Chain A
Amino acid sequence: MDIEKLTAVETKEMIGKKEISVQELVESYLSRIDSVDKDLNAFISVSRSEALEDAKRLDKKIGRGEALGALAGLPIGIKDNIITRNIRTTCGSKMLENFIPPYDAKVVEMIKKEDGIILGKLNLDEFAMGSSTETSYFGRTKNPIDMERVPGGSSGGSAAAVKAGEVALSLGTDTGGSTRQPAAFCDLVGIKPSYGLVSRYGLVSLANSLDTVGVLGKDVRDAGLLLSTLADFDPMDSTSSEKANRETIVAALESGNKLEDIRGMRVALPKEFFQVEMDQGISREINKAIRLLESLGANIEEISLPHLEYSLAVYHIIVASEISSNLARFDGIRYGYRAEEYSSLDELYINSRTEALGEEVKRRIMFGTYYLSESNTDSHYEKALRLRRLIKEDFDKAFEKFDIILSPTSPILPFKFGEKTRDPLSMYKADLFTVPVNLGGFCAMSLPCGYEEGLPIGLQIIGDRFKDADIIKAGLALEGGLKNGL
């Protein structure tokens, strides 16, 4: 039996029943990494000895009959922009090539507390800026479904590692689609929680008003399991919400795929999303999923979100502006790359940053600095923030009448390496359906819903703020229906 083909929930059951020891399980996953990662390149760092030590410790705990955490024994990978104590954290950048964090991110601490086993750190676009995992200083990650294609991004390593059976679950991050789009490209479930539901303490900021930690798994139950262990208020993160609570998520997972949850569910289809030009096969498969929901008893209605067309431009300005501020901390002094040669303090900054930051990162710092500069801030940054309010209010209004909103996750199918890098605007378009969700702080899931010539297609299920349980309920029902060929 190939243990890595099992879902995380099934694996956890096996461990609970002592059908396999945690050490055997971890060894099996590590040897899987050894055999596939040279080519796939999902990992930046594998924390082999720490993982094996953790496994042995947990086996002893099981032997003593102690109560186990919710993630007991599950091999988990962490996107490399989430810091891990004593395990190198690079953000996919030369700037942090040798950075060893002195403490754990809150989410890492929580995974350890729930007895999850961390196998290592996963590849990403440099500082999570990208949609294809092609800009990492540590090389590009391939898509396990078709090795000539990108795995999506920026959490491409997180998606590829789960798909290839190198980890059972993974953490990604999502600022404008960086968990959902790679989930769609690798035929997985990815959840971007409501902003404020999961702590950002120890996540290296890209655009802090939009950043969230995301989860990836083979199915809704797996991704939901990981999310349910992380949803909590954290006083160490000033943007964490006191509304954060895991109970409704746990309840949705426990009640399972219940048809009554879908009967009468009010589902909105924004017409603006469906007017977008998409790759072949996407609208066909999305429509099939919509008809399935309808046949299960959901009430489907078309709606309009009139300001949606501005979201990409608004997103670009806000992200670049926040990046230019957040990346000012990389000065070569306290941590990170320091140039060998410099003759003044200014030169130390300039040489270190110029030598160690990648092209796309520097471009965005430049654009953001422009938007924030004195004469432009009102016409660009502030303007974008005022439009952000209109975009969020469109969604707020929709959620007064509807439980969930549906769209494709991405208008494009997994593309070949280099295909979009020459035209950044077409790359940004990959995030068209996902960025509005971050602008409003809503929650969303990408769910596999079909194929076009072997390439996977993702359906996006969007929920209201802190109604993360709703998207899990809808996801469970749809997944059940799709698997049964309804």
Chain B
Amino acid sequence: MVTKEQIEKIASLCKLRYSEEEIDQFAEDFTQLLEYMDKLNEINTDGLEALYSVNDHTQRLREDIVGESLEREELVKNTREEQFGYFKILRIVE
């Protein structure tokens, strides 16, 4: 059972806003889905290692060599608010 308060907490972690009715719907959907996921508890997985990646290799390191880079103007052209070649946001430090 997932409560309304839990759903509200998750939505705030996700930086998403939902209406009262949508939160109620989610509580129902979560409960239903988690019942379905209960199936996984049929299998004992104690002692098994989690499989994060199917690759044999771990993270490769490369030499730190100066290569081609992207132009600053190209990078900021996709933001909606730009100023002096920077991404503009609100003043967050008083």
Residue pair A313, B59 in contact (C-beta under 8 Å): no
B36 in the interface, Cβ–Cβ < 8 Å? yes
Contact between A440 and B54, CB atoms less than 8 A apart: yes
Contacts A239-B53, A241-B57 hold; do A348 and B10 have CB atoms under 8 A apart? Answer: no
Flag if A366 contacts B10 (CB, 8 Å): yes
Residue contact B79 to A390, C-beta cutoff 8 Å: no
Give the interface segment out of A43-51, A217-225, A329-337, A445-453.
A329-337
Evaluate whether A348 and B45 lie within 8 angstroms (CB atoms) in the complex, with A338-B81, A365-B14, A392-B54 already known. Answer: no
Bound complex: CA A124 to CA B43 (Å): 35
Nearest residue (CB) in B for A375 is: B6
Cα–Cα, bound, A336→B62 (Å): 31
Scan residues 331-352 of chain A and give those whose CB is less than 8 A from a CB of chain B: 331-338, 342, 344-346, 348-351
**Assembled-state Cα–Cα distance A40/B74 (Å):** 34
Contact of A387 among B29, B33, B40, B62 (CB under 8 A): B40
A192 interface residue per 8 A CB criterion: no
Residues from chain B with a CB closer than 8 A to the CB of A314 are 40
A380 and B87 within 8 A (CB): no
User: A163 within 8 Å of B by Cβ?
Assistant: no
Residues of A within 8 A of B49 (CB): 386, 389
Chain A residue at smallest Cβ distance from B75? A102
- Flag B1-21 by CB within 8 Å of A: 1 or 0 each: 010001100110111110000
> Is A179 an interface residue when CB atoms closer than 8 A count as contact?
no
Bin chain A's interface residue count: 35 or more
Q: A313 contacts B40, CB within 8 Å? A: yes
- Does B14 lie within 8 Å of A235, measured CB to CB? no
A100 on the interface (CB 8 Å rule)? yes
> Do A353 and B51 touch (CB < 8 A)?
no
B16 neighbours in A (Cβ, 8 Å): 350, 353-354, 357, 362, 365-366
Q: Taking A370-B30, A392-B54, A425-B36 as contacts, is the C-beta distance between A334 and B78 under 8 angstroms?
A: yes
Please name all residues of chain A whose beta carbon is closer than 8 Å to the beta carbon of B80 when the two chains form the complex: 332, 337-338
Which residues on the B side are within 8 Å of A99 (C-beta)? 78
**A362 neighbours in B (Cβ, 8 Å):** 14, 16
Q: With A and B bound together, what is the CA distance between A235 and B60 in angstroms?
A: 9
B45 engages A333 (CB within 8 Å): no
With the chains together, A465 CA to B26 CA distance in Å? 39
Taken together as a complex, chains A and B put the C-alpha atoms of A382 and B48 apart, in Å, by: 10
Which residues of A lie under 8 Å from residue B17 when comparing CB positions? Answer: 350-351, 354
A221 CB to closest chain B CB (Å) equals: 28
A100, A349, A365, A386: the one within 8 Å of B51 (CB): A386
When chains A and B are docked, how far (Å) is the Cα of A239 from the Cα of B54?
9
CB distance from B29 to the nearest CB of A (A): 8
Cβ A385 vs Cβ B10 within 8 A: no
Which chain A residues numbered 71 to 110 have a C-beta less than 8 Å away from chain B?
A: 98-100, 102-103
Also in contact, A195 and B54, with CB within 8 A (given A366-B11, A366-B16, A384-B40): yes
In the complex, what distance in Å separates the CA atom of A363 from the CA atom of B16?
A: 10
- Nearest-neighbour CB distance to chain A for B11, whole angstroms, equals 7
The answer to whether A238 touches B36 (Cβ under 8 A) is no
On whether the beta carbons of A209 and B48 are closer than 8 Å, the reply is no
| B-contacting residues, A208-222, CB 8 Å | 209
With a cutoff of 8 Å between Cβ atoms, the chain A residues found around residue B66 in the complex are none
CB distance from B23 to the nearest CB of A (A): 10
Q: Which residues of B contact A35 (CB under 8 A)?
A: none
B residues within 8 A CB of A161?
A: none
- Is B53 touching A389 in the complex (CB atoms < 8 A)? no
B84 shortest CB reach to chain A, Å: 15
Q: In residues 41-73 of chain B, which contact A (Cβ within 8 Å)?
A: 41, 43, 45, 48-55, 57, 59-60, 62, 70-71
* Cα(A335)–Cα(B43), bound, Å: 43
| 10 A-B pairs in the complex with CB atoms less than 8 angstroms apart | A102-B74, A195-B55, A196-B54, A310-B43, A313-B37, A334-B79, A335-B78, A349-B15, A367-B30, A370-B10
If A313-B39, A388-B51 are given as contacts, then 8 extra A-B residue pairs at C-beta distance below 8 Å, sorted by A number, are A100-B78, A102-B75, A235-B60, A310-B40, A334-B75, A337-B80, A350-B16, A385-B52
